[in-house]
Chains A and B, each alone.
Chain A
Amino acid sequence: MTQFRRRDFLKSSAAAALAGSSTFGALGRAFAADPVNFFAWSAGVDQVKAHVSAFEAKTGIKVSYGNAPWAQYRDTLVTKFVGKAPLDTLWVSDAWLPEWAEAGWLAPIDGYPQLTKYNSDVDDFSTKSMMWKGKQYGLTYYTDYMAFFYDEGMLQKAGIGAPPKTWDEVVQQSLKIKKAGLSEYPLMLSMARETWLIEFLSSLVFSHGGRFVDDAGAAVMQDKKKGAHEALTWIVNAVQKHKIVSPACVEIGELNGLKSFTSGQHAFAMLGRYRVRTLNDPKQSSIAGRVKQAMMPAGPNGKHATVGWNRFYGLTTAAAKDKAKAADTVKLIEWFGGKADGQYAFQKLMFLDVGSGFATKPLFKDPDIIKAYNQYSDIKMYEAQQKLAQKKDVVSPWFGEWDEVNGTAFQAAVIGKASVEDALKRSADTWNKLRRRA
């Protein structure tokens, strides 16, 4: 047996190294360079991976992609930031922006015109949702709003020709449906304590022409003239007086609400706009084909406004500090949140594959999107309602803490444990206390 000597080993190693460097030279940069660390919640994972691969192939920049479930996302990311884990870009919810920006974890993108140039294509409320203290912190990944849906078949059976335009009409039509024995609780409202609750409450307040806080950031929710009082009174009456909303609404989360509506138990529902795809899918809904979207009913002083939310690509401060890393990261953000190969490829992909909404106005004119959406809903209604969407006015560094109390206060009013005045006073007092402390 021939012995493999130390000298032979060194020679062959050197030869292998030389061969490797020439053979894999093209891949050298991708594997040797520090990757761009991209973290997201576990939505559209296959689509993200495919788009990342296309980016790597196009630019030679390596991307390290990781994800965590939505429910644990905020905690996971805060822990990562505190622990200084490698993070360059990530999906951010508008609700966390002030908190993370104030903590110094996110960097503004105003200095990158290759990103801000897309603002002119994006709905105003969506861009505003990415701003904190006058600076923009990202590029939109997904945008949507709270929508008002109705079961056209049930309305026809009750002899109702058109959906309600005001909250008063919602009551009148619901009572008619109830009287006809078509539904015990015609309006489905999800009021369980979860992250969705503030979206439902905000849309009810905005559609009543109301605000939680004024432009200066002071609480106005307790003011009887500012809409929130009117909105909460309407909810309380709907549950306790008219009995058109189930008293169980305080234990019904968004997902259970969706299931309840798809089972045909209700005539009206407030749900995220993107849910219309499920609502009109015969495999998932017993009322498929009958669900239509209407403009959010208006309160006496309201104008069909609703709440919109935004999820976006944020740039971390750590990445922004390193010029080379920042340049690579900005390219990745643009690839996802802006145009890739001349089109809004990722937003379109996410819309067509999973139904995620977008704030990029040119996509409303995209023939593929129009064709796909009109199969289960009405693109014009989608666009018209989105124009009236408003960003949540309560998003602040103390939003999470306040939201805990506010959700509880609204629930207390709904179940009759507290009066509307007391509930809103508690919410306002908490807001002001947290604001002072900050």
Chain B
Amino acid sequence: MSIRAGALRGVFGAPVSRYDQASAMWLLAPMLGVLLVVAVFPVLYSFWISLFDLRLTRPHRVPFVWFENYQEIFQDELFWQSVWRTTSFTLICVAAIMVIALAMALLLNEEFRGRRFLSAMLLVPWAIPYVANGLMWKWIYDSGYGALNGLLFQLDFIDKYMVWLGDQHKTLWLIANAFIWKEVPLATILVLVGLKSIPADLYSAARVDGANTWRRFVHITLPALRPSFMLVVIYETMMAIRHFDLFFILTEGGPAEASHVLAWHVYVETFRKLSFGTGSALAYIMALVTFFLAFWLIRTLGRKL
């Protein structure tokens, strides 16, 4: 049954026009109300909280301190160390994900026996929840009974079990590896979609012009993949900056702060020290950094599209 627009009545009984903005707003109002309560209010309230020295375990004294929490954070050496670690982690992860995803997508874009099976298998890491992924890598990296030591020992690459997560120089790389393993499938799919959308005519024409494989890759494939790359870079950068689960499960920021990243810093301040004022301020700083980074990436990369 079709309903004619003219047969509908607006909220005040007036007929509804297809372009009646006021009625549309009234219809959207409940959802806007929900958004105000569950999204806008908490965001504004957390900013308000960040201006107080609010410790849950000291409920009787909650002084208003203006921007002192922010000032303290910027003077804290550990904060800057965690910023540096977060930056390193993000750069390592995004770069590796881009390269591996491109290679995987190029492979899956070719016709070969078992391609469908490989494509299906590729999704497995992506389908595993982060917590399960973390626990799995904890078993793999364990210095006493981990699969990595077992494998390397059996292959005679090592003559005794190595320390992995307990080694401050390896920790961040190993966590990055677990993150990359989980994130590569999605990135591959996004790049693969980009590859599939490149018209075959372009390659045929290039072949006629005598372009070899490398030149076709550089001059046709890579430029055509820019939108996909932009999407992957922005998404994975945001994911890496905010990532918490693996740090929580694998190292708890250790050993000796070797994996103390920004997201972990927020967690420790907020939920271990129960210092909600500082925790909110940190979360705000992190959110603003993420926002401006995304904005910059979209503007910079988007301009080149």
Contacts and interface: CB of A to CB of B under 8 A. Distances in A.
Partners in one complex: yes
Contact of B144 (A78, A99, A260): A260
A417 B256 contact: yes
B166 A247 contact: yes
A248 B144 contact: yes
B12 to A, nearest CB: 42
A352 interface: no
Contact of B274 (A78, A192, A248, A251): A78
B68 interface: no
Contacts of B60: 103-104
Interface residues of A, number: 36
Interface string A356-398: 0000000000000000000000000000000000000000010
Nearest to B141: A251
Contacts of A397: 57-58
B140 interface: no
Given A193-B254, A397-B58, 19 more contacts: A102-B57, A104-B60, A192-B252, A246-B143, A250-B254, A251-B165, A251-B166, A256-B142, A260-B144, A265-B144, A408-B253, A408-B254, A409-B256, A411-B255, A415-B167, A415-B168, A415-B255, A417-B256, A418-B256
Nearest to A403: B272
Contacts of A82: 56, 59
A411 to B, nearest CB: 4
Contacts, number: 90
Interface in A181-199: 184, 192-194
Interface string A412-438: 101101100000000000000000000
A60 to B, nearest CB: 35
Contacts of B303: none
A102 B255 contact: no
29 contacts: A78-B57, A78-B274, A102-B57, A102-B58, A103-B60, A104-B60, A184-B160, A193-B252, A246-B143, A246-B163, A247-B167, A248-B163, A250-B166, A251-B142, A251-B143, A251-B164, A251-B165, A251-B255, A260-B144, A400-B57, A400-B274, A401-B273, A404-B272, A408-B256, A408-B257, A411-B256, A412-B256, A414-B255, A414-B256
Contacts of B273: 400-401, 404
Interface of B: 56-60, 142-144, 160, 163-168, 251-258, 268, 271-275
Nearest to A251: B166
B56 A415 contact: no
Given A103-B58, A265-B144, A193 B160 contact: no
Interface string A266-298: 000000000000000000000000000000000
Contacts of A99: 57
A247 B163 contact: yes
A103 B160 contact: no
Contacts of A78: 56-57, 274
A265 B256 CA distance: 26
Of B144, B253, B275, the most chain A CB neighbours within 10 A belong to B144
Contact of A103 (B59, B143, B163, B272): B59
A252 interface: yes
Contacts of A401: 273, 275
A119 interface: no
Contacts of B254: 192-193, 250-251, 408, 411
A194 B252 contact: yes
A131 interface: no
Contacts of A59: none
Determine the main DSSP class of A at the interface with B.
helix
Contacts of B160: 184
B176 to A, nearest CB: 17
A27 B258 CA distance: 60
A78 B273 CA distance: 11
Interface in A77-134: 78-79, 81-82, 99-100, 102-104
Contact of A256 (B144, B255, B256, B274): B144
A99 to B, nearest CB: 5
Given A404-B268, A417-B168, A250 B255 contact: yes
A249 B166 contact: yes
A400 B163 CA distance: 29
A322 interface: no
B56 A79 contact: yes
A75 interface: yes
A252 B58 contact: no
Interface string A225-265: 00000000000000000000011111110001000100001
Contacts of A81: 59
A102 B59 CA distance: 10
A31 B199 CA distance: 76
Contacts of B256: 250, 408-409, 411-412, 414-415, 417-418
Nearest to A104: B60
Contacts of A247: 163, 166-167
Nearest to A79: B56
Contact of A400 (B142, B252, B257, B272): B272
Nearest to B255: A250
Contacts of A418: 256
Interface in A159-208: 184, 192-194
A252 B144 contact: yes
A241 B99 CA distance: 42
A256 to B, nearest CB: 7
A370 to B, nearest CB: 36
Contacts of B251: 251
A394 B257 CA distance: 22
B274 A75 contact: yes
Of A194, A248, A414, A417, the most chain B CB neighbours within 10 A belong to A248
B166 to A, nearest CB: 4
B73 to A, nearest CB: 15
A260 B58 CA distance: 40
Given A82-B56, A252-B144, A75 B271 contact: yes
A248 B167 CA distance: 8
B157 to A, nearest CB: 18
A99 B160 CA distance: 46
B57 A248 contact: no
A318 to B, nearest CB: 13
Nearest to B57: A99
Contacts of A409: 256
A436 B88 CA distance: 36
A401 B251 CA distance: 19
A401 B274 CA distance: 9
